[in-house]
Structure 1
Amino acid sequence: MMMTHGHGGGAMFTFMRGDDKSKPNLTRDLVRRVARYGKPYAALIALALGAIFISSLIALIPPLLYRDLIDHVLPQRDADRLTLLALGLVTIPLFDGLIGVGQRWLISRIGEGIIADLRQALYAHLQKMSLRFFTHTKTGELMSRLNNDVIGAQRAVSTTLVSLITSAFQLVATLFIMISLNVQLTILALIILPLFVLPMRRIGNLMREIVRQQMDLNAEMNGLMNETLNVSGALLVKLFGRQREENAKFSDRAKRVRDVGIKQALIGRWFFMALGLVSALGTALVWWSGSSLVLQGAFTIGTIVAFAAYLTQLYGPIATLVNARVDFATSLVSFERVFEVLDLPIEIQDRVNAVELKTMRGNIQFDKLSFSYLEEQNDAPQLTQASASPMPGNGREMRIIQTMAQSVPGNGQKFSETFAPKATRRWALRDVNFEIQAGQLAALVGPSGAGKTTITYLIPRLYDPTEGRICIDGHDLRDISLDSLSRQIGMVTQETYLLHDTVRANLLFAKPDATQD
């Protein structure tokens, strides 16, 4: 079966979030959903956790070697022990580095694997979406979800989550060693903890909002690039001399992305400067109190040096864990944006026990069929209208005259169908009834917007009827599997679209198993 068609109109929609979702929420359901993608990599995750644990323990050894060097080796002038300590200070970083390489490999395998699975799931879901979805959604925003947001999700797995786990291991191990050295100094080091908590939560919430804003602005800029840099968009811009206006529009969006990036960098810089000051305060308190203990003979110089070294391993993990919820929630923004697409309902899909047609005679029947392009606008909360253009058949009374010319002598016939006047639902087709016998050639004749293209979209089930049904060989289209339907129907579009590939690849796109002849 072969059909030709023109263009169908449609309103343009874009992904936008309501105020209630302007901030990412770290919910159990969201965390569980992300965790499900890690299930196939459970063994690698266990090995990575083991590597992180070993690396955290190794990091505790050098300060103890410094203490031994200052308190025993130097006062006793023990050259042999000095050699062993020197070898240890070289061997330990080497061993830790090798473990770090293995840890990085494991984490990369996990992160890249999860993201590949997520990207494939997202692409497969988009392939199942109806034509209505693609005519109502900006392609650039979809590309942003498929590329930028998926990469952001990868950072959440490979960087943020690993940082949180590593910090937890380091904090527990470091506190254990510090308490064993001196309980009072450990308590003194923890006194400044509130100075970490208060600014970190405030800055963390602000950074979360900026990350979300940055992603939205990037998606908007990608949408503009996709609209104006494809063949049709570039042709339109050149024909109407809109280069200057489009450059200005793109420049405005690029500057907004730039400004948000600068804002994020400055806030981050101020944030880390504040953390540095708090850490310096804690270190000064420990050195002052520890030195007093040394002067009193209650503490050795090597111990205070080791204790000060452990402070750097204490404040870093505390800073990470105090802000863990906000930091993790910010990282999950990318997953959240990807899941928004994955959660979009599939409008056109196979029914249970759909019929698999091996061959098709080609008898087509439209039975009391009515169709509206915008019927699901109010049922799609994920899509918010950005601009609108009239759909075929909206706003006026229409008449379509469908003339069937004979392809086999004696099989010709004529018929016409008068459409209902404008209704509140804005019908593109209203109560259409006709039948085309197998072997007949049908020509749809009528003014622009009469519904010719709509009919050709309905037969291969690019859309489903709003009311009534379409039957092929006595089967309701919705009872036929989509795969068998696409194999039996051929379509020549009015606008030629070629893949960036060889001529042969384009010719074989519809039927990869076609022979050379």
Structure 2
Amino acid sequence: MGFHGGGWWAYISHDEKQERPAITRELLWRVWEFAQPYRLKIIFLLLTILFITGLSLVSPLLVRSLIDDAIPNEDYRLLTLLAVGMVAIPIVNGGIGVFQRSLNSQIGEGVIYDLRRALYEHMQRMSLRFFTQSRTGELMSRLNNDVIGAQRAISDTIVTIISNIVSLVGTLAILLTLEWRLTLLGLAILPLFVLPARRVGRILRDLRRKSLEISAEMNATMNETLNVSGALLVKLFGRQEREMTRFADDAAEVRDIGVRSAVIGRWFFMMLSIIGAVGTAVVYWVGGYLVLEDAFTIGTIVAFGSYLSQLYGPLMALTNAPVEFAQSMVSFERVFEALDIPVEIDEKPTAKRLEQVNGRIQFQNVFFSYSSEDHAGGLQEVARFSWRGGGAAHLKRGKAKENGEAIENGKAAASEQRWALQNVNFSIEPGELVALVGPSGAGKTTITYLIPRLYDPTDGRITVDNQDLRDVTLKTLADNIGMVTQESYLFYDTIRANLLYARPDATDEQMIAAAKAANIHDFIAQLPDGYDTVVGERGYRLSGGERQRIAIARVVLKDPRILVLDEATSHLDSLSEALIQEALGKVMQGRSSLVIAHRLSTILAADKILVMEKGQLVEQGKHDDLLARGGLYTNLYETQFKQAETLK
């Protein structure tokens, strides 16, 4: 890596082409909001900085007194006192420094705790749409790398800046008292410190942001390919080399950015050191001349030289302070980007609790699109717009600008909207079993997602017991709706912990009863550790049918008033399916149940069948009535349900 053809400025100039958002007053205020709970500790921290800096400024004066007074006057008592003082100052400073470090750590670790908690809580409130459009590894990067970077800004960068400011002001005041002409001469080189700092600060700040972005990409790659599902896919398709190359490319880019930042920083500090050395030499030369002219004492010039080093040190650090501060603020920017993403599924302040739910569900003129322009996308999309200076708060406006051709003159291109559901109307009465059928992509799963309010309708409304889902609390809604999804997810924990996730206060008897209802108790009892068996990552130590039955037992243990089953028996053999169907028949009694049905037995038992096609409800009724119409349901019955039943 060479620096010919223009030196270090040429080396770094290509990184200066892109402008980034400036550090704003709003950003600093938000940082202060996180620091406010620790303001008392911050005050004590500032006092320790003042005390340590004040004591450090005394040492050169002791040296001057030693040279000019104690030694020439052969004052043994003063000599002893000065020697004791020279030892006492570092001891006192060291003790106070330990206390300062303790305060600093408490503030920094406290801020990182608050940031992590705020970010995690915000992520927990995000809708399912956000997680389908965000990479898990990138979310992990925000919670770890960015939050730690923000903590460094509080506990290291800001404290260092304050310490250097106090030291600079104190040193400057003493220097002016000692010899104002030499002080002005020493400050004459100040512009040479300041001018390079602005350029380098912007470059290093951009490199820092780019490094965090690439690190997030690297984390996402690791998360996608090192979990069970990802690792299985990679092995089945023999793509290990491709994934290793992709990871190596990201890691190499992080490495190169780190090297570039280090080299740029080293060149910068080398220039500052040379400038400082020139300033010191000039001051010593002029000061030495004044000593020879008897206008200065030797002790004064020695003390002046010591203070000059204390002046240039903080001055160099403060010259680079905008660089370090800007880099540390990048982490706060990225954390705030995530915190500013609007919550799509939010709870109204006036939301009511669902009490004594009967289970009447109504869909009224419901439209829904997964690509709605009314909601923010994933984390990557928010970050992409923030690079243009907007952030999450301006995402919607940015998207509108980007799609200006399609929404010309303010007219939305409604015909281009891809609807997952269009004008869906139906009702489920308390205690009814409703079967949902239709070809793939008809909108069946979307309907099941809307009932527990994983998404909100783009238009129309959904009610439970005549109350709009958006008017009830999310907690009581979740408490009264039980759902078994297509993919049964289990935590890397014991079977017991996975079952009790639905109802933490359940007794062993209730847990076992739920497992028996799902026909999984006998299997669990045969395991060496029984209910304390660890199921592995995503439950992959179990078969698909076993995971599904545990998921069903979990919902049975929850004992909800409304059941939503999305292909709940799709992974079961015929015997297990029969036992599960019998168990579910008992569980669904007295409860409103919506089942995506692929089994004829479920369809025949249903009180009502909803037939979906291309996001529209095209038919509804009972089995015999729908067969008599000769429509889509008849076709599905002849090609799918009847044939599947015959093959059993």
TM-score bucket of the superposed structures, by smaller chain: 0.7 to 0.9
Bigger Cα displacement from structure 2, 118-127 vs 199-208: 199-208
Report the counterpart of residue 275 of structure 1 in structure 2: 272
Report the counterpart of residue 87 of structure 1 in structure 2: 84
Report the counterpart of residue 490 of structure 1 in structure 2: 482
In 2, Cα distance between the equivalents of 1:94 and 1:444? 78
In 2, Cα distance between the equivalents of 1:253 and 1:377? 33
Instruction: After TM superposition, give the deviation of residue 98 of structure 1 in Å.
Output: 0.8
Does the CA-based 8 Å contact 1:145-1:337 persist in structure 2? yes
Report the counterpart of residue 417 of structure 2 in structure 1: 425
In 2, Cα distance between the equivalents of 1:22 and 1:185? 40
- Highest RCO, 1 vs 2 (Cα 8 Å, sep ≥ 6): 1
Q: Aligned match of 2:60 in 56, 59, 63?
A: 63
Report the counterpart of residue 28 of structure 1 in structure 2: 25
Report the counterpart of residue 402 of structure 1 in structure 2: none
Does the CA-based 8 Å contact 2:130-2:378 persist in structure 1? no
Whether 1:286 aligns to 2:286 is no
Instruction: After TM superposition, give the deviation of residue 244 of structure 1 in Å.
Output: 0.8
Instruction: After TM superposition, give the deviation of residue 323 of structure 1 in Å.
Output: 4.3
In 2, Cα distance between the equivalents of 1:373 and 1:350? 20
State the SS of the aligned residue for 1:384.
Answer: helix
AA of the residue aligned to 1:317: P
In 2, Cα distance between the equivalents of 1:362 and 1:198? 71
Instruction: After TM superposition, give the deviation of residue 77 of structure 1 in Å.
Output: 3.7
Report the counterpart of residue 227 of structure 1 in structure 2: 224
In 1, Cα distance between the equivalents of 2:418 and 2:113? 42
Q: How does 1:90-129 map to 2 (within 5 A)?
A: 90-129=87-126
AA of the residue aligned to 2:287: G
Report the counterpart of residue 252 of structure 1 in structure 2: 249
Mark the runs of 5 or more structure 1 residues left unpaired by the alignment. 1-18, 387-421
State the SS of the aligned residue for 2:294.
Answer: coil
Q: Aligned match of 2:149 in 152, 157, 178?
A: 152
Does the CA-based 8 Å contact 1:55-1:100 persist in structure 2? yes
In 2, Cα distance between the equivalents of 1:149 and 1:193? 34
State the SS of the aligned residue for 2:112.
Answer: helix
In 1, Cα distance between the equivalents of 2:493 and 2:106? 31
- Structure 1 residues 21, 476: CA separation in 2 closer, same or farther (over 3 Å shift)? farther
What do residues 12-59 of structure 1 show as CA deviations (whole Å, max 9, x unaligned)? xxxxxxx99952412111111111112211211111111111111011
In 2, Cα distance between the equivalents of 1:441 and 1:316? 78
Whether 1:178 aligns to 2:170 is no
Whether 1:263 aligns to 2:260 is yes
- Structure 1 residues 352, 378: CA separation in 2 closer, same or farther (over 3 Å shift)? closer
Does the CA-based 8 Å contact 1:24-1:333 persist in structure 2? no
Report the counterpart of residue 446 of structure 2 in structure 1: 454
- Structure 1 residues 138, 379: CA separation in 2 closer, same or farther (over 3 Å shift)? closer
Q: How does 1:183-222 map to 2 (within 5 A)?
A: 183-222=180-219
In 2, Cα distance between the equivalents of 1:238 and 1:442? 41
The sequence identity of aligned pairs, in percent, is 57
Mark the runs of 5 or more structure 2 residues left unpaired by the alignment. 1-15, 384-413, 510-648
Instruction: Please identify which structure carries the higher helix content.
Output: 2
In 2, Cα distance between the equivalents of 1:21 and 1:134? 30
State the SS of the aligned residue for 1:468.
Answer: strand
In 2, Cα distance between the equivalents of 1:20 and 1:464? 42
State the SS of the aligned residue for 2:381.
Answer: strand
- Structure 1 residues 73, 159: CA separation in 2 closer, same or farther (over 3 Å shift)? same
Report the counterpart of residue 297 of structure 1 in structure 2: 294
- Structure 1 residues 333, 22: CA separation in 2 closer, same or farther (over 3 Å shift)? farther
Q: Aligned match of 1:471 in 463, 466, 475?
A: 463
Does the CA-based 8 Å contact 1:287-1:308 persist in structure 2? yes
Instruction: After TM superposition, give the deviation of residue 96 of structure 1 in Å.
Output: 0.4
In 1, Cα distance between the equivalents of 2:95 and 2:35? 25
In 2, Cα distance between the equivalents of 1:430 and 1:498? 33
What do residues 170-222 of structure 1 show as CA deviations (whole Å, max 9, x unaligned)? 11110111111111111111011111111222222211111111111111111
Normalising to structure 2: TM-score of the pair? 0.69
In 1, Cα distance between the equivalents of 2:360 and 2:216? 45
What do residues 206-245 of structure 1 show as CA deviations (whole Å, max 9, x unaligned)? 1111111111111111111111112211111111111111
AA of the residue aligned to 1:60: L
Instruction: After TM superposition, give the deviation of residue 279 of structure 1 in Å.
Output: 1.1
Greater Rg, structure 1 or structure 2?
A: 2
State the SS of the aligned residue for 2:491.
Answer: coil
Instruction: After TM superposition, give the deviation of residue 247 of structure 1 in Å.
Output: 0.4
In 1, Cα distance between the equivalents of 2:378 and 2:135? 16
Does the CA-based 8 Å contact 1:359-1:488 persist in structure 2? no
Instruction: After TM superposition, give the deviation of residue 501 of structure 1 in Å.
Output: 2.5
Instruction: After TM superposition, give the deviation of residue 135 of structure 1 in Å.
Output: 0.3
What do residues 483-502 of structure 1 show as CA deviations (whole Å, max 9, x unaligned)? 10001111122222222223
Bigger Cα displacement from structure 2, 189-198 vs 318-327: 318-327
Report the counterpart of residue 168 of structure 1 in structure 2: 165
Bigger Cα displacement from structure 2, 64-73 vs 277-286: 64-73
- Structure 1 residues 498, 447: CA separation in 2 closer, same or farther (over 3 Å shift)? same
